[in-house]
Amino acid sequence: MDRATKLVAPEISGAEILIRCLEAEGVEYVFGYPGGAVLFIYDELFKQDKVKHVLVRHEQGAAHAADAYSRASDKVGVCLVTSGPGVTNALTGIATAYMDSIPMVVITGQVPTHAIGQDAFQEVDAVGVTRPCVKHNFLVKDVRDLALTIKKAFHIARSGRPGPVVVDVPKDVTGARCRFEYPDAVVMRSYNPTVKGHPGQIKKAAQLLLEAKRPMVYTGGGVILSDAAAQLTKLVKLLGFPCTNTLMGLGGYPATDAQHLGMLGMHGTYQANMAMQHCDVLLAVGARFDDRVIGNPAHFGSVPRRIVHVDIDPSSISKRVKVDVPIVGNVREVLDELLKLLDGQAGKLDQRALKAWWTQIEQWRSKDCLRYDRASAIIKPQFVIEKLYEVTGGDAIVASDVGQHQMWAAQFYKFDRPRRWINSGGLGTMGFGLPAAMGAQFAHPGATVACVTGEASFMMCMQELSTCKQYRLPIKIVNLNNRYMGMVRQWQQFFHGNRYSQSYMDALPDFVKLAESFGHVGVRVEKPADVEPALREAFGRRQDLVFLDFLTDQSENVYPMVPGGKGISEMILAEEL
């Protein structure tokens, strides 16, 4: 817009400004639920067709769907909810996105500015209640600040270490009018995240990697978020090093490749955890050494090793584990630089030492730590995931809920590509799976989307079956139904003397009829021999949502397991019980 048009630009309402901002940001879908404080905004949504709205059945579903839409693509997810209960319902979804550093903009309605602080109907201090679980939040008190605030919100959400940003907009601000101008860029003196890694540090890192005798590459969600899977794969291939991914990092390196040791951590593979503990040089990329990954930091630190840590967030470095070569920067940019330095240098590697290290790793791998009873007459949950992998050709987007089924999906579905594995890693939010599958399906309308869940998790957000019907989302729900909160039961078995306190799910619904009542297809599977045919049939139905209710072994546990507070090499393996 030139100066002249700016001057004659008509005044438009805050609600319209908001929609025009979303349009300018290239937002295709907004996941939301209307209410009193956002009626002007919904009215504007109604009047246009560029920004499409997805009506969920509960605001938690809106936040999870927007979050998963972002995880499955590389766009910022957008969620719109009303004041008060709209905000508090969305809070779980906001916290989930925050813990996993997912870029998301959440627009929350607020009571009119003159009513703020009066305990008005559906009033809650949105900025206050969301503060601890957002990257940043804003309360817009003047319509003239609205466009710049939305610009800042998207900028903050997607740059640096990404995260959710809440913009709280009082109703009178959406009704007030002013001229609209969307800024092209935003400059904030107080917010300039580091992107490029320090060249000297990267040089040191390259040197360390070349000197390694027992190297290990450990990568997390940062590789996915910065779209650095190609760089990572190239680097690991170039060096010939073993590589492991965290729960958040699955798909960052192809799981079917021989250099991949599987997931590490509390339910990581024996070989990944042992290699992590016994390596002499560790390259950590976009991962944060959290408690579920390295267990007890003192135990981890009791063995000498040199650590290179690449992360966009300085506060993730040396937080739980001291590192030797910290590199703050965008993972992809740093890996690009590292690749440049190491190009043609592979000849300097100590091949003899590497060979011995691989021999050791293969010995660990030969323990076959993920094996389970394949002759079982009862359906084993691991078997279902293996068959799911086969039937979908390993190319489905898998959205998971939280619990044992999540761990089995992470262990047995081999993700070769990033953004295919959608799960709540940090917060561990039960109920995430179904709305997440919806968000992923909106991001990739033609893709095969599976929701791996358990009966307890599923019932936390099952109202979204109605949303799935409204938008004809052909999601395939794989319910590993063991009539227990399986992970809780497992901990109670291991650490609380088999006292299964409140972890048994009594009075479960008939999931087949439940799915049918929402207009979907429901199938119950009770025998191992029926697992594969049922999956084939379900995934063959391209137009339908199919709910597959697998009655699985009630007593199955997730192995290996590192008990909380133990070192990662102190695993409980299946055979030891």
Partner 1 sequence: MNAPVASPYTLPAAETKAMRHIVSILLENEPGALSRVAGLFSARGYNIESLTVAPTEDGSLSRMTIVTTGSDDVLEQITKQLNKLIEVVKLVDLSEAPHIERELMLIKVRATGKDREEMKRMADIFRGRILDVTETTYTIELTGTGSKLDAFIEALDKAAILETVRTGASGIARGERVLKV
**Contact set with partner 1 (CB under 8 A):** 127-128, 131-132, 135-137, 139, 156, 188-191, 291, 296-298, 313-315, 318-319, 491, 494-495, 497-498, 563-566
Cα(202)–Cα(200) distance, rounded to whole angstroms? 5
CB of 324 to partner 1, least distance (A): 16
| Residues 118 and 110: beta-carbon distance below 8 Å | no
Contacts of 35 (CB under 8 A, 6+ apart): 81, 82, 83, 84, 86, 109, 122
- Structure token digits, residue 21: 């901002």
| Residues 485 and 505: beta-carbon distance below 8 Å | yes
Nearer to partner 1, 414 or 566 (CB): 566
**Of 444, 170, 198, residue with least CA distance to 317:** 198
CB of 319 to partner 1, least distance (A): 6
* Secondary structure element (H or E) that encloses residue 141, with its range: none
* Secondary structure element (H or E) that encloses residue 513, with its range: helix 511-517
CB of 189 to partner 1, least distance (A): 6
φ and ψ at residue 189, rounded to 5 degrees = -65, -25
CB of 160 to partner 1, least distance (A): 9
Residue carrying the six token digits 């798909």: 251
Q: How far is CA 263 from CA 251, 260, 350, 415, 438, in A?
A: 10, 9, 26, 11, 26
**Where would I find the beta strands (DSSP E) of 84-146?**
104-110, 136-139
Catalytic residue numbers read 59, 121-122, 171, 487
Give the residue ranges of DSSP H helices in 73-121.
Answer: 85-99
Cα(243)–Cα(209) distance, rounded to whole angstroms? 13
| Residues 500 and 484: beta-carbon distance below 8 Å | yes
Cα(495)–Cα(493) distance, rounded to whole angstroms? 6
What is the amino acid identity at position 24? A
Nearer to partner 1, 302 or 351 (CB): 302
Q: Is the peptide bond before 560 cis (omega within 30 degrees of 0)?
A: yes
Cα(500)–Cα(484) distance, rounded to whole angstroms? 9
Nearer to partner 1, 199 or 314 (CB): 314
Pairing of strands 215-219, 164-170: unpaired
Nearer to partner 1, 127 or 238 (CB): 127
CB of 82 to partner 1, least distance (A): 21
Residue carrying the six token digits 């609209």: 180
Nearer to partner 1, 240 or 297 (CB): 297
* Secondary structure element (H or E) that encloses residue 52, with its range: strand 52-55
Nearer to partner 1, 169 or 478 (CB): 169
Which residues does residue 522 pair with via DSSP β-bridges, in sequence order? Answer: 547
Nearer to partner 1, 318 or 376 (CB): 318
Cα(467)–Cα(365) distance, rounded to whole angstroms? 44
**Of 52, 394, 75, 104, residue with least CA distance to 251:** 394
* Secondary structure element (H or E) that encloses residue 571, with its range: none
Nearer to partner 1, 445 or 565 (CB): 565
CB of 569 to partner 1, least distance (A): 16
CB of 576 to partner 1, least distance (A): 12
Torsion of CA 464, 466, 470, 476, to 10 degrees: 70
Nearer to partner 1, 137 or 503 (CB): 137
Burial class (CB in 10 A: 0-12, 13-18, 19+), 324: middle
Nearer to partner 1, 163 or 252 (CB): 163
Contacts of 465 (CB under 8 A, 6+ apart): 434, 514, 515, 518, 520, 545, 547
CB of 296 to partner 1, least distance (A): 6
CB of 561 to partner 1, least distance (A): 10
Cα(85)–Cα(15) distance, rounded to whole angstroms? 21
CB of 495 to partner 1, least distance (A): 5
Torsion of CA 532, 534, 539, 543, to 10 degrees: 170
